[in-house]
Structure 1
Amino acid sequence: MKKLIFNIIAIGTIFMLSSCADYLNVDKYFYDQLSLDSAFAKKIYVDGWLANAYEGMNFMAEFKERYRWGSDDLINPDEKAMQNGNYSADDPLDNMDGRGAAGTMYKVYETVRKASTFIDNVGRCPELTLTEVSDYTAQAHFLRAYAYWSLLRRYGPIPLIPKEGLDVNLSYETLSLPRSKFDDIINFINEDLELAAVNLPVRRTINNMGHPTKGAALTLRARVLLYAASPLFNGNTDLFNMKDNVGNQLINQTYDEGKWARAAAAAKDVMELNQYSLNIIKPSATTIMPPHHAEYSDKEFPNGWADVDPYASYKSIFDGTILGSKNDELIFTRTNEGHNTIRGLVESCIPRTLNGGNKIGVSQKMVDAYYMNDGRTIQEGKADGYYQERGFTTSSTEYPFLPAKVSLQYANREPRFYASIAYNGSIWECESANESKYRRQQLFYYKNENDGKLGFKEDLPLSGIGFKKFYNPEDALTTGGYVVNKTEPSMRYAEVLLIYAEALNELTTTHNVVTYNGNSTTISRDIEEMRYALKQIRFRAGLPDFKDDIYADQGELRTRIKRERQIEFLGENAFRFLDNRRWKDAMVEENMPLMGCNINISYDEDKIQLYYVPTAITSMPKNFEQKMYFFPIPTEELKRNVNMTQNPGWQ
């Protein structure tokens, strides 16, 4: 009888009562060899097997992907190789589990195998109810789909493993499989997620928040189908030479508009669950209210922002103010503790004066992408002086949310800007700090300031602009302080709305699409449907809806949707990195030099204006080549799998 090595959950700990953080803690598992019959004979063993499959999620979390630092929005001085393309098949920057250059690929395929074996055998457990079998099987389908998605977004087409799993007694060479066609992989993932969605519950208990729901499966499905519809894979003749080991093309060279329709229908499936909505906080005395707008200021959401605090509504999604289980915008979440998580990011963002890492910067391009608080771009605001590049605030009451001595280029910006950007002279509250000297500090990145460049050391945000989207006013690293627990927003409803709008905008005709549950829906470029989605994102941010002429212009609306994603998802899930690639924008966007403030300017009233002159970050050169649309297949993987082919351009 076949023998399989797998982990059994420790005695006394039951997986289905564990939180997400628990099931990723591999220390509580011990190894044992059992036959398949024995492995699925008892519920505790079944729970252990599924828990072990979930362990692979630790290697698939977008928040932990190093490539999130390889785009044009955030700057991490520890990740220069991601910015300048200094990686290769021998050094792919992918060693999360200590198994060498192919570590993550190995671990993710292990998850595929465990999930497949589980799907084939969970039904034989006599201690499980039919409802439990259905739910467990659906979770395994979700895990397998997520695993393939995590590989697909890195490497492009990868081998599909037979659904029955692998016989681990066979040598790797015997099991070696060639790369599968991209469309076949998408169809496989789609099928897994449809099966998962049919049987997963709509809601989970608070103890099971890290387990997928129907909405999570459908949202991942919409995300994957949007990726498949995008220019990188939809009729991209640049990839004619991406082939398998016998010369078959892996990317369909013919454009298919129907792929956009399927992505739109998938997003609509999530919307029609009626389980999710954007996070809305009522206005308070400290709110940043947008300028009065005749059409929207006096109407309640979703037709205006009269009952919306745009700053708090956005900020509280990320800073731990609201528990993940209480936030109807969050669709799939993971708690984040430890260094290589949101907590670690927050620690890296907090300035040196407050015992933080003082590392993470935001590019000038990203800062300039934010709208003015009246919905205009900074270029439009510059025309009548509403946006000012010169001058400084003189008091803390002159402009909402800005203390004195702050550049006027940061005045009158939209609330998402203030929720995310630690501009020079920002206030860091650190309310949990024991000593008052650490609370409500206004800190600067000028040269020779404690948080600025000291001597020749660039031990600061290299752009001179910090990042505080996940920072909570209570967060403090000083004695007696604490960092508020955060929830990773792996999937949220704002993404669904933007997927829907983007996919609809690309249509030129009407499509009939079969949904995940066998029903049929009609999809077309309906302006009112796009408006329905986009105005919610805009109104929650306190910004007016786009004008009719923008909705009527497919190209202009495409540009606006790209900008909304850039702003809305800053620092989340490597969205910007993946978006630039799926749109085929990376060759332009990521070959522009990273720009920021001039961190070599010290605090001198006669010179400080020079600090804000956009300056290239020469210590973080940008480089993007055609081959970098995909990562190289690790050399170790090529050695193990003789039928694997390398991505074009890589050796």
Structure 2
Amino acid sequence: MKKIRNIVSALISVSLLTTLNSCNKEFLERRPLTEISELDVWTDPSLARAFVSRMYEEMDHGFAEVMISSLTDESRFIHDYSSSRVVQGNIGPDEHGRAWQFADWGKFFRVIRNANMFFENVETVPFSNDTERDQLTGEVYFQRAYNYFCLLRMYGGVPIITQTFGLNDEEAVQSVTRASYEETVNFIVEDIDKAIALLNEETDRGIVNKPAAHALKSRVLLYAASDLYNKPGNNNSLVGYTGGDRQSRWTAAKNAAWEIIKTGRYSLYQPGDSAAENYANVFLDNGNDEAIFSKLFDRELLGTSHDLYNGPNGYNNWGGNVPLQNMVDAYQMSDGSPFSWSNPVHKAAPYENRDPRFYATILYNGAPWKKRGDNGIGLDPIGVIQTAQYEYWNGSSVQTRWGLDTRSGPIENWNGTYSGYYLRKFMDITLNAQFFRGNQDFIFFRYAEILLNYAEACIELGQDGEAKTYLKMVRERAGMPGADVDNASGDALRNLCRYERRVELAYEGHRFFDARRWMTAEVDFNVAARGIEIYGKLQPDRQTLVYEYTPAAIQDRAFPEKMYFMPIPINEIRINGKLDQNPHYVQTD
């Protein structure tokens, strides 16, 4: 009998542990779990839910060891894992570098196949009522749309497959061709609309509902209206539109965001008086009113290793995805003016008076952080990030010492930052990440993104007044002046909206796609990754340090034109020669 291997792994997953609370115990005891068959799945509602739970497990989230931010100008992954091949433009059909995990053709189509299998069999499942069947079916329409969107944003148009293929369907598999970009967008939107019609308005946290589907639709349509997919004179239907009314696309994007805004159900999270703390807590206070749809982590079961992966080496963490100076320099001053190294005041104290989101996102030299472990508390009883080399008076002469969180530090001289920074965003200051995992949700969709989606669409439609209202909401929650928005128009307003997306959504997985869809990646990603060298000079009083800051290149980077789209994997083309390759990639064999 044909087995479904996904069910076994789903049965030990966190999401399944919640969905199986009402599972029929007698059914599970009837035979070993390894003998659950395809037929069994469609005769028991609990196993059907388990089947769908596996789709949730497959959803990419931002707490992976290699963050997609390290394939952009946001950060660098210090352990490499072939990520350097991506940021230096050295990928091809036979080698995706570390981009594979974000462009996993096989995984996305595996989920799509499972979704199709669900649709072919769901009517046979003996649910207790139609509401239960409709909700689960809506979840699967969402999952199929989401996985097609993951393919679309990486590859452009892809094959639209709505059935499962068996062992005897080799000829059919080899005849599949790529749909156009427009056809793929339309298919995704149709699936989302089907999901919206079936899903409940309210569900438990972590389960797809109507607002989650609307949020996905908002992102899909915003991307579809953007520059990369609407280039004048484009004649390659696989990577963009070849005609049609672009204004109607922006209108559709605006309307999709408005469907969420008009409900009044969500709000920007502001639990306290500190703008920096409010922003930081969006990602720490699970289930807050800004989160639309999230992936849940339970530290008692599987948890998230985000803090361990990215915390400073001076706390015995791995320091994985370290922010770049390129990103640090992007943060405005607190009055809304740009930061500049040519300004002597800025240069002397580059971490003072910055956009409050900087302090909630970046750990920099001198930033307050958590209590050190036993092997560091004697050297740092307060808990302050040390990424500088500095002088000290030993009683008879001036000596130099490397900070505890540098690659030459005395606690761990590996896992240290190359850039002089560590990630603060998403990090739980109360967690000892060396020994414990975190339980922070990863937010796939939140209200701030929807407001920014809406503002961007309004700007492109020439509706500046409407855009300003919602752009100011995001900016003022962050403690930044709304007057900057009031006084901007045209390109200045567009650039301010793009600034807000870059800073507000930093390290959440947006920058990789935003710079591409705006077609700014050839400039933004085509420069060296930079860090900071910091040296603390002891003053004559032998007590005071004055720090000198020197930006420095830490990694060569390049962004050739081909990188706007990922190459179709060569193995897929070997199986099916009718799959056309994306532009600018040499077909290897």
Q: Taking structure 2 as the reference length, what is the TM-score of the superposition?
A: 0.84
Paired letter, 2:403:
E
Q: Is residue 332 of structure 2 the alignment partner of residue 371 of structure 1?
A: yes
User: What is residue 33 of structure 1 aligned with on the other side?
Assistant: 37
| Structure 2: runs of 5 or more not aligned | 22-31, 390-401
User: What is residue 235 of structure 1 aligned with on the other side?
Assistant: 231
Q: Is residue 447 of structure 2 the alignment partner of residue 493 of structure 1?
A: yes
User: What is residue 642 of structure 1 aligned with on the other side?
Assistant: 577
Name the CA distance, whole Å, in 1 between partners of 2:403 and 2:528.
26
Q: Is residue 392 of structure 2 the alignment partner of residue 452 of structure 1?
A: no
Name the CA distance, whole Å, in 2 between partners of 1:81 and 1:230.
27
Name the CA distance, whole Å, in 2 between partners of 1:577 and 1:499.
16
User: What is residue 442 of structure 1 aligned with on the other side?
Assistant: 384
Paired letter, 2:73:
D
User: What is residue 144 of structure 2 aligned with on the other side?
Assistant: 144
**Aligned ranges for residues 404-423 of structure 1 at < 5 Å?**
408-423=349-364
User: What is residue 216 of structure 2 aligned with on the other side?
Assistant: 220
User: What is residue 350 of structure 1 aligned with on the other side?
Assistant: 311
**Gap change, CA 1:21 and 1:578, over 3 Å in 2:** farther
Shift of 1:330: 0.5
The alignment's C-alpha RMSD in Å is: 3.4
**Helix, strand or coil: the match of 2:442?**
strand
For the Cα contact (< 8 Å) 1:234–1:255, is it kept in 2? no
Shift of 1:577: 0.9
User: What is residue 27 of structure 2 aligned with on the other side?
Assistant: none
Shift of 1:491: 0.9
Name the CA distance, whole Å, in 2 between partners of 1:458 and 1:622.
23
User: What is residue 47 of structure 1 aligned with on the other side?
Assistant: 49
Name the CA distance, whole Å, in 1 between partners of 2:178 and 2:99.
22
Cα deviations by residue, 1:432-473 (Å, 9 ceiling, x for unpaired): 989954763223222433322439x88532221222112222
For the Cα contact (< 8 Å) 2:313–2:415, is it kept in 1? no
**Gap change, CA 1:375 and 1:526, over 3 Å in 2:** closer
User: What is residue 246 of structure 1 aligned with on the other side?
Assistant: none
Cα deviations by residue, 1:411-447 (Å, 9 ceiling, x for unpaired): 1122211111111122221389899547632232224
User: What is residue 167 of structure 1 aligned with on the other side?
Assistant: 165
Q: Is residue 266 of structure 2 the alignment partner of residue 276 of structure 1?
A: yes
User: What is residue 89 of structure 1 aligned with on the other side?
Assistant: 93
Paired letter, 1:222:
S
Q: Is residue 460 of structure 2 the alignment partner of residue 506 of structure 1?
A: yes
> Is 367-376 or 633-642 further displaced after alignment?
367-376
Identity of aligned residues (%): 30
Cα deviations by residue, 1:142-177 (Å, 9 ceiling, x for unpaired): 00001101111111211111x3x1232334453131
Name the CA distance, whole Å, in 2 between partners of 1:429 and 1:415.
19
User: What is residue 122 of structure 2 aligned with on the other side?
Assistant: 122
**Gap change, CA 1:263 and 1:51, over 3 Å in 2:** same
Name the CA distance, whole Å, in 1 between partners of 2:99 and 2:330.
34
Shift of 1:31: 5.2
Shift of 1:582: 0.5
Q: Is residue 353 of structure 2 the alignment partner of residue 389 of structure 1?
A: no
Name the CA distance, whole Å, in 2 between partners of 1:70 and 1:342.
25
For the Cα contact (< 8 Å) 1:538–1:544, is it kept in 2? yes
Name the CA distance, whole Å, in 1 between partners of 2:33 and 2:536.
54
Paired letter, 1:388:
H
Name the CA distance, whole Å, in 2 between partners of 1:316 and 1:352.
24
Paired letter, 1:389:
K
Shift of 1:502: 0.3
Shift of 1:52: 3.6
**Gap change, CA 1:421 and 1:62, over 3 Å in 2:** closer
**Helix, strand or coil: the match of 1:491?**
strand
User: What is residue 475 of structure 1 aligned with on the other side?
Assistant: 431
User: What is residue 402 of structure 1 aligned with on the other side?
Assistant: none
**Gap change, CA 1:389 and 1:129, over 3 Å in 2:** same
Q: Is residue 200 of structure 2 the alignment partner of residue 201 of structure 1?
A: yes
| Structure 1: runs of 5 or more not aligned | 23-27, 244-248, 284-308, 391-407, 509-524
**Helix, strand or coil: the match of 2:441?**
strand
Shift of 1:603: 5.9
Cα deviations by residue, 1:373-396 (Å, 9 ceiling, x for unpaired): 2333335x987x8x5312xxxxxx
Name the CA distance, whole Å, in 1 between partners of 2:134 and 2:569.
37
> Is 343-352 or 259-268 further displaced after alignment?
343-352
Give the aligned length. 550
**Gap change, CA 1:602 and 1:204, over 3 Å in 2:** same
User: What is residue 612 of structure 1 aligned with on the other side?
Assistant: 549
Shift of 1:103: 9.1
Name the CA distance, whole Å, in 1 between partners of 2:54 and 2:152.
22
2:499 corresponds, among 563, 568, 575, to: 563
Name the CA distance, whole Å, in 2 between partners of 1:122 and 1:389.
63
Q: Is residue 556 of structure 2 the alignment partner of residue 591 of structure 1?
A: no
Name the CA distance, whole Å, in 2 between partners of 1:211 and 1:449.
44
Cα deviations by residue, 1:48-107 (Å, 9 ceiling, x for unpaired): 3323444432xx33554754311111121223223212322212136979xxxx993122
**Gap change, CA 1:13 and 1:489, over 3 Å in 2:** closer
**Helix, strand or coil: the match of 2:268?**
coil
**Gap change, CA 1:440 and 1:640, over 3 Å in 2:** farther
**Aligned ranges for residues 255-404 of structure 1 at < 5 Å?**
256-283=246-273, 309-318=274-283, 320=284, 322=285, 324-325=286-287, 327-336=288-297, 343-379=304-340, 387-390=345-348
For the Cα contact (< 8 Å) 1:632–1:650, is it kept in 2? yes
For the Cα contact (< 8 Å) 1:342–1:488, is it kept in 2? no
**Gap change, CA 1:491 and 1:431, over 3 Å in 2:** farther
User: What is residue 632 of structure 1 aligned with on the other side?
Assistant: 567
**Helix, strand or coil: the match of 1:135?**
helix
Name the CA distance, whole Å, in 2 between partners of 1:372 and 1:95.
33
**Helix, strand or coil: the match of 2:346?**
coil
Cα deviations by residue, 1:469-515 (Å, 9 ceiling, x for unpaired): 1222212245xx6454211011110000000000110014xxxxxxx
**Helix, strand or coil: the match of 1:410?**
coil
Q: Is residue 385 of structure 2 the alignment partner of residue 424 of structure 1?
A: no
**Gap change, CA 1:549 and 1:425, over 3 Å in 2:** closer
> Is 185-194 or 39-48 further displaced after alignment?
39-48
